[in-house]
Amino acid sequence: MKLVTRTALAYAILTAFILFVFAYSVYFVSEKNRKDEFFDRLDYKITWRAEFIFDAQINKDLIKFLHTKNKKVLNEADISVYDSNFNIYFSDNMPPLGNQKILETIKKNKSLNWADEKYQYRGILYKDNNKEYYIVGRAIDVTGLNHINAFKENVLYVYFISIVLVFIIGFGFSYYTLKPLKDIIFQIRDISEHNLNKRIVVPKAKDELYELTQTFNTTFNRLEKSFNNHRNFVTTISHEFRTPLSILIAEIELGKELNQTIDDYKKSLDNALEEANHVSQLSTALLDFARANYDVSQIKMSPTRIDEILVDAKLNLINKKEVKYKIGISYTNLGDTDSSVYNYTGNPYLLQIAFSNIMENACKYSENHSCNVEINASSEKITLTFSDEGIGIPEADLEKIYNLFYRGKNKDHENGYGIGLSIVKQIISLHNGSIEVTSTVGKGTTFTVMLPLQ
């Protein structure tokens, strides 16, 4: 059952219950008022007949005969009259109306009302010539019953017609209310892996549907980013590995077919080893890039110290490089701040990769192979400044240096793959930080990394 039908049905059932309670209450009150009103009229009928019996002083059989005649037209009440000793004095019916218990109740309470499925009964205490009599009368409220039965039929007709109308109106209202949701479903169905850039139209009213479309669009943004990262990563691997592997294969084949001396074989192996190292470095860089592109929810953050990560990055870089890099780390406000301000919650492994990449670039593109790092901590953020006195970056390349595999005009100065700064940018973004760069060709480059503490 569709949501529109289910909603309309639930609305109709709820309304039917409310209408039933209302209709039953009206009927109950109307029936009670009818009975109370007829008891009043029955009291008048009984009193009138009692006065006729006691005042007319005519034969009782004649009174019964007249009562029988009048009853067909006037709907007179049948009565039974008892004296003070509960002996029958007069009765229209045999056996007479009432019993010992009823008469005692009338004597005690002066009057009594009750009813069965057909008749309404009333008993009263009547006095005539200082004598007490107990009169029990009954009658059928023909007019009142006809009216209440007609009222009940009309209420039932109106009730069922109202339920049908409520269901139809509820169905239309539900369809109109849920139509935007149906439109969202159709739009989602049109989105596939071939058009992940397509988004759901956001409604103007900022209601639950607005939040739903925003949530879907945010989810599609993440899916598109993940899909594009995966596609780019696969494309990049196949493209970047093709060249060194082709060189490696060609070098081995040439060595196999053309080399004749040990020196020739040694030279071929050196060339093959160099290309193998390139492949290893490229695979490491690509794996680091893949890790940096994880969703932040998949990355474990833990308490650490930024200065310790910098030292680890420095030692790791110095130990693995044949060229001696010179990396200096200094604190700009060490005496004015508490050492706890260098505490930071992040991923130590990824931060070490980011810092290593910046320091390695600074050393590679500097003639003195040196990099100076300054740490400035405050209560709001930690600022790291990486500066060198190298060849600098042309202004036209500054906006593109974070693009994957982009290498600027100074690419001939050192070998590389154009991946390092892309990794740095992504890792800093994962930590809600920012990175800025200023550079002057021939004088050097400065990278500024800002990591918020909150």
Q: What angle do CA 409, 317, 439 make, to 5 degrees?
A: 35
CA 359 to chain centre: 46
CA distance 387 to 366: 10
Q: What residues contact 171, with CB distance under 8 A and at least 6 apart?
A: 4, 5, 8
Amino acid at 303: P
DSSP 180-205: HHHHHHHHHHT--TT-TT--PPPPSS
SS3 readout for 8-59: HHHHHHHHHHHHHHHHHHHHHHHHHHHHHHHHHHHHHHHHHHHHHHHHHCCC
Which residues 6+ apart lie within 8 Å of 366 measured at CB?
Answer: 388, 389, 390, 391, 444
Q: How many CA atoms lie within 13 A of 287 on its CB side?
A: 7
Rounded-to-integer distance, Cα 156 and Cα 426, Å: 71
For the chain, what's the residue count? 454
Distance in angstroms (rounded) separating the CA atoms of residues 50 and 166:
55
Q: Give the pLDDT confidence score for residue 322 in this predicted structure.
A: 67
Q: Are 386 and 327 in contact (CB under 8 A)?
A: no
Q: How crowded is the C-beta side of 408, counted as CA atoms within 13 Å?
A: 18
Per-residue confidence band for 258, with pLDDT thresholds at 50, 70 and 90: low
Mean pLDDT of 361-385: 88
pLDDT band at 134 (very low <50, low <70, confident <90, very high): very high
Lowest mean pLDDT among 265-274, 363-372, 389-398, 445-454: 265-274
- Residue 105 pLDDT > 80, yes or no? yes
Parallel/antiparallel/unpaired status of strands 111-115 and 131-139: unpaired
State how far the Cα of 129 lies from the Cα of 250, in Å rounded to an integer: 143
Does the bond joining 95 to the residue before it have cis omega, within 30 degrees of 0?
yes
Local confidence band at 25 (pLDDT 50, 70, 90 cut-offs): very high
Binned at pLDDT 50, 70 and 90, residue 383 comes out as: very high
Write down the mean pLDDT value for the chain: 81
pLDDT digits (tens, 9 = 90+) for 398-448: 787 877 666 665 555 555 566 778 878 888 888 889 999 998 888 889 999
Contacts (Cβ under 8 Å, ≥6 apart) of 369: 323, 324, 325, 326, 363
- Nearest CA-CA partner of 116 in 89, 97, 143: 97
Where residue 253 falls among pLDDT bands split at 50, 70, 90? confident
Q: 388 or 2: whose pLDDT is higher? A: 388
pTM of this structure: 0.48
What contacts 152, CB < 8 A, 6 or more positions away?
27
Sign (positive or negative) of CA dihedral 390, 393, 398, 402: negative
pLDDT in tens, 319-349: 776 678 888 988 887 666 667 778 898 888 8
- The pLDDT, as a whole number, for residue 242 is 65
> pLDDT at residue 101 above 60?
yes
